[in-house]
Amino acid sequence: MASKSVIHVVEDDEAMRESLVELLEDGGYAVRTYAKAEEFLAQSAAIEPGCIVSDVRMPGMDGLALLRRLRAGGSTMPLMLITGHGDISMAVAAMKAGAVDFLEKPFEADALLAALSAALRHHSSDDKADDAELSRRRLHMLTSREHEVLEQLVAGKSNKEIAAQLGISPRTVEFHRAHVMEKMAAKGLPELVRIWLSADPSAR
Amino acid sequence: MTSRTNPNQSPNLAASTATTASASSDQFDATNIGLINLQPTSRQKLSALVAVAILLFAMASVAPYAPKMLPRFAAFIPFINAAISVTDLITATLLFAHFSISRSPALLVLAGSYLFTALIVIPHALTFPGAFSPTGLLGAGPQTTAWLYTFWHLGFPAGLLLYVWLKDGDHAFQGSLRSAIGWCTTISVGLVVGLTCLAIIGDPLLPRQFQNVLELTSFGFYATYFDLFVAVVALVFLWTRRRSVLDLWLTVVAFALISELALASFRFSLGFYSSRIFSFVTSTVVLVMLLAETADLYKRLALANTLLRRERDNKLMNMAAVVASISHEVKQPLAAIVMRASTGLRFLGHMPPDVVKARSALNKIVNDGHRASEIFDNIRDLFRASDQGRVNIDVNEIVSKTLQTMQRELAEHRITTRTDFVPEPPCVTGHRGQLQEVLLNLIFNAIEAMEGKDGDRVLSLKTERGEDDGVIIKVMDTGPGIDPKNSDSIFDAFVTTKPRGIGLGLAICRMIVERHGGQLLASSMRAGGAQFDIILPSDAPANTSGAGTTA
């Protein structure tokens, strides 16, 4: 690798931070660490481009606020959120705020590395337009019921809430949900949100 | 040390605290909501007394003129009996409903007695000479109505006596409510039908009570006096063994019954009219009182239900917060362990395998594992009955000791401390360690809150005398304060981040303080900065002592 990509790790937990450094360095990245979001922001003007990996729950400013602050300041640097307490609405909020991905702790080394390389590749390439086209095509494959379920899902609703909303059983929602995931080729909810957003960026 | 950890402990503790708290604050339980067990208040006693006084006064003013004959008003009996039938039927229904709740056989008997009255007034009116036909309907003889009157006024006080006899040895009825009420109704109806038949068919054979349509024979008077005697016995027993609101009003009813029988005289005399009107008015008043008591009971039940539901919600919220706070603490080392293990696998997959790095990763995994385990140990220690248990605590001392242990951190963050101690603070009892933990947490929060602040960083600790000889410890900072829209939720959602290895969230702080029978409140000061009030009662209620034994 000619020049190492830089990964900025924002994580308050020392053990987690240290283990991330070990892994990322082994994965061929240069790593900078920050114990707090404020610490990162203070240096962000003079920061090397790359990708940010930030914990969500931290004392002081949390990861989501950091992401919003960066986007508001015009930064387009990809930011991946990691959290031990992810729920659907948080994942949706993160993706809407412009996170490249949303990983739930605990995750394995390879999962993080794969997500990171995808994020960096995605960010650098110009295939976003293609992505949008592909996503739109996938969206068209959904039945109207599946569409309804998808819309509720990306609004952060739980299966139970969706069932109540649509007047069907949670079982059926689960069934539709599996179909939606399959047709949209999404491995998890964060990805589903990302694909959905890429098809219709105005939804942000 | 690690092997003894029990991850279920804290949630259980949270649950047990809430339960004990609810038991003490909840003055409602199944035994004292029933009409039959409710003690009369002084206001109720007074209104019953007023009712009796009015009755006595009315009776006394009528009595001298009781034999005076008034115009014959044929529709009077059908009218008054219909009214009595309706009110007594409603009373019976109400009592059946109370029986269904309390399963008290005494109430069933009482309901049956009212049903009996509500029914027997029907043949009484139908057979009354001159009411519907000159000699009465149903093929009644001249004595039929009188006998029905006798049975009516014998049956009801007999029912009252049975009620008194049953009510104290009260054991809950075990069988099916529906069939009990069914049988009671059947017996009442059967009695009325049987007695009506007896009075009609037996008319020629039974002793004569009326010598003509209007005038009683001496036997008629004796029959009335016999009823009167039974009613007096019922009154005496009701009065001497009265306990509940219901007993109180039944005493009034018995009193009205006696008045009615005492005034009984020739038909269409002043005594005849007035006794029945008194009797009817009294039974209506009693019905209204019963309805009011029932409505009041319903209100209290609804309130108790709301309280219970709120308590349960609080408990769940508390538990959710505690679980979230613990899982946050535990998930961090777990996430690190997974990361390190999978990174270690990568190191071993290298060509050649990087054994040195893999070994170091494994060593760190061991450490992280211990750390996760320690978190549980710390949590357990926090809630375990500490060796010292509950002791008398001088809040001033505990505040200054806690501050001492924090000297270094406070100095590092350039925070000046101010203390304002109340002289001779009221004594409170509690777990020294737990209260110290709460203080430590609040101080750490304050330090964190003031971290980004340029101006003066002041931490103020104040002890005050609270209500009822309680104590308030105030922890105030000059940080940004609490967003008003968050002031309610910080105790649920906000979780402080490990001040000393274990992140005791505000949720746990609040739990500890509540376990001491106190309150933990958060507010923003007008001058800026957050204020936390630890309010402790002077003598912690007994329910908090159970906290330790569960651990």
Which residues from A are below 8 Å from B331, CB to CB? 84-85, 105-106
Cβ A84–B328 below 8 Å, yes or no? yes
A110 inside 8 A of chain B by CB? yes
What residue in B sits closest to A113 (Cα-Cα)?
Answer: B343
Instruction: Pick the range with the lowest mean pLDDT from A152-156, B12-16, B227-231.
Output: B12-16
Per the model's pLDDT, the better-predicted residue between A14 and B87 turns out to be: B87
With cut-offs at 50, 70 and 90, classify the pLDDT of residue B28: very low
B357 inside 8 A of chain A by CB? yes
* Average pLDDT for chain B: 80
| Option in A15, A59, A109 nearest B332 (CB) | A15
Tokens of B280: 């009817």
Ordered by start, the domain boundaries in chain A are 6-124, 128-199
| Alpha-carbon separation of residue A55 from A36, A37, A68, B449 (angstroms) | 9, 9, 14, 20
A38 inside 8 A of chain B by CB? yes
What residue in A sits closest to B340 (Cα-Cα)?
Answer: A19
| Option in B328, B336, B343 nearest A15 (CB) | B336
- Mean pLDDT, range B156-166, rounded to an integer: 93
CATH placement of domain A6-124: 3.40.50.2300
Q: Distance (Å, rounded) from C-alpha A82 to C-alpha A84?
A: 7
Which residues from A are below 8 Å from B364, CB to CB? 15, 18-19
Which of B325, B327, B332, B498 is the best substitution to test chain A (most A C-beta atoms within 10 A)? B332
Q: What is the pLDDT of residue B317?
A: 65
What residue in A sits closest to B324 (Cα-Cα)?
Answer: A85
Q: Distance (Å, rounded) from C-alpha A50 to C-alpha B299?
A: 65
Q: What is the pLDDT of residue B86?
A: 94
Contact (CB, 8 A) for B238 and B254: yes
Tokens of B275: 């006794």
B306/chain A closest Cα distance in angstroms: 25
A18 inside 8 A of chain B by CB? yes
Tokens of B199: 């009075």
With cut-offs at 50, 70 and 90, classify the pLDDT of residue B383: low
Q: Return the ∠ at Cα B173 (arms to B171 and B177), rounded to 5°.
A: 160
A59 inside 8 A of chain B by CB? yes
Per the model's pLDDT, the better-predicted residue between B352 and B40 turns out to be: B352
With cut-offs at 50, 70 and 90, classify the pLDDT of residue B389: low
Cβ A19–B495 below 8 Å, yes or no? no
* Number of Cβ pairs < 8 A linking chain A and chain B: 81
pTM here is 0.52
Which residues from B are below 8 Å from A84, CB to CB? 327-328, 331-332, 335
- Mean pLDDT, range B201-216, rounded to an integer: 84
Residue with tokens 């949720």: B507
Backbone phi, then psi, for A192, in 5-degree steps? -60, -45
A20 inside 8 A of chain B by CB? yes
Q: What is the pLDDT of residue B316?
A: 65
Residues 358-377 (B) with a CB less than 8 A from some CB of A:
361, 364, 367-368, 371
> If we measure between CA atoms, which residue out of A74, A56, A71 comes closest to residue A190?
A56
Tell me how long chain A is: 204
Which residues from B are below 8 Å from A85, CB to CB? 324, 327-328, 331
Contact (CB, 8 A) for A100 and A78: yes
DSSP string, B384-453: S--TT-EEEE-HHHHHHHHHHHTHHHHHHTT-EEEEEPPSSPPPEEEEHHHHHHHHHHHHHHHHHHHTT-
Cβ A106–B334 below 8 Å, yes or no? yes
With cut-offs at 50, 70 and 90, classify the pLDDT of residue B490: low
Tokens of B171: 């054991």
Strands A101-104 and A79-83: what pairing? parallel
A65 inside 8 A of chain B by CB? no
What residue in B sits closest to A55 (Cα-Cα)?
Answer: B332
A19 inside 8 A of chain B by CB? yes
Backbone phi, then psi, for B98, in 5-degree steps? -65, -35
What residue in B sits closest to A38 (Cα-Cα)?
Answer: B452
Cα B397 to chain centroid distance, Å, stands at 40
Instruction: Output DSSP code: residue B542.
Output: G
Which of A9, A19, A61 is the best substitution to test chain B (most B C-beta atoms within 10 A)? A19
Collapse the DSSP code of A45 into the 3-class scheme (helix H, G, I; strand E, B; otherwise coil) and give the result.
helix
Does the structure show a pLDDT above 70 at B537? Answer: yes
| Option in A19, A57, A105 nearest B340 (CB) | A19
| Option in A59, A85, A108 nearest B497 (CB) | A59
Which residues from A are below 8 Å from B346, CB to CB? 23, 26, 109-110
Does the structure show a pLDDT above 80 at B5? Answer: no
Q: Distance (Å, rounded) from C-alpha B95 to C-alpha B516?
A: 44
Buried b (16+ CB within 10 A) or exposed e, A120-146: bebeeeeeeeeebeebeebbeebeeeb
Contact (CB, 8 A) for B172 and B104: yes
How many CA atoms within 13 Å lie on the side-chain side of B442?
Answer: 31
Cβ-based neighbour number of residue B544 at 10 Å:
22
CA dihedral B257, B258, B260, B265 (to 10 degrees): 140
Residues 6 or more apart whose CB falls under 8 angstroms from that of B8 comprise none
Per the model's pLDDT, the better-predicted residue between B483 and B117 turns out to be: B117
Does the structure show a pLDDT above 60 at B89? Answer: yes
CATH placement of domain B390-550: 3.30.565.10
A109/chain B closest Cα distance in angstroms: 5
Ordered by start, the domain boundaries in chain B are 45-309, 316-383, 390-550
Q: Distance (Å, rounded) from C-alpha B293 to C-alpha B291?
A: 5
Contact (CB, 8 A) for B294 and B101: no
With cut-offs at 50, 70 and 90, classify the pLDDT of residue B122: very high
Could you please state the CATH topology (level 3) that the domain comprising A128-199 is classified under: Arc Repressor Mutant, subunit A (1.10.10)
| Alpha-carbon separation of residue B316 from A59, B157, B311, B321, B519 (angstroms) | 25, 53, 9, 8, 18
CA dihedral B206, B209, B212, B214 (to 10 degrees): -140
User: Predicted ipTM?
Assistant: 0.76
Cβ A84–B338 below 8 Å, yes or no? no
Q: What is the pLDDT of residue B109?
A: 94
Q: First and final CA of chain A: distance in angstroms?
A: 35
Helix or strand run (H / E) with residue A30: strand A30-34
Does the structure show a pLDDT above 90 at B116? Answer: yes
Does the structure show a pLDDT above 80 at B182? Answer: yes
With cut-offs at 50, 70 and 90, classify the pLDDT of residue B18: very low
| Option in A15, A59, A84 nearest B368 (CB) | A15
B339 inside 8 A of chain A by CB? yes
Cβ A84–B337 below 8 Å, yes or no? no
Q: What is the pLDDT of residue A129?
A: 64
Q: What is the pLDDT of residue A125?
A: 61
Please list the residues that pair with B502 across neighbouring strands: B500
Largest CA distance in chain B: 128
What residue in B sits closest to A25 (Cα-Cα)?
Answer: B343
Largest CA distance in chain A: 57
Q: What is the pLDDT of residue B4?
A: 39
Contact (CB, 8 A) for B482 and B525: no
Q: Return the ∠ at Cα B328 (arms to B327 and B334), rounded to 5°.
A: 80
Contact (CB, 8 A) for A61 and A38: yes
A15 inside 8 A of chain B by CB? yes
B525/chain A closest Cα distance in angstroms: 20
Percent with pLDDT over 90 in chain B? 25
Does the structure show a pLDDT above 80 at B310? Answer: no
Backbone phi, then psi, for A36, in 5-degree steps? -145, 155
Does the structure show a pLDDT above 70 at B348? Answer: yes
Which residues from B are below 8 Å from A12, CB to CB? 497
Does the structure show a pLDDT above 80 at B361? Answer: yes
Does the structure show a pLDDT above 70 at B492? Answer: no
User: What confidence tens digit (pLDDT) does each residue in B256-280 have?
Assistant: 888 888 887 788 888 888 888 887 8
| Option in A20, A84, A110 nearest B332 (CB) | A84
Does the structure show a pLDDT above 80 at B87? Answer: yes
Residues 383-402 (B) with a CB less than 8 A from some CB of A:
none
B391/chain A closest Cα distance in angstroms: 34
Q: What is the pLDDT of residue A11?
A: 92
Residues of chain A falling short of pLDDT 70: 1-2, 124-130, 200-204
Which residues from A are below 8 Å from B338, CB to CB? 105-108
Q: What is the pLDDT of residue B540?
A: 45
Collapse the DSSP code of B124 into the 3-class scheme (helix H, G, I; strand E, B; otherwise coil) and give the result.
helix
Cβ A26–B347 below 8 Å, yes or no? yes
A8/chain B closest Cα distance in angstroms: 17
Q: Return the ∠ at Cα A143 (arms to A139 and A149), rounded to 5°.
A: 80
Q: What is the pLDDT of residue A126?
A: 57
A148/chain B closest Cα distance in angstroms: 31
Residue with tokens 């991946």: A80
Provide, for chain A, the percentages of residues in helix, strand and coil under a 3-state DSSP scheme, each rounded to the nearest 5. Answer: 60, 10, 30
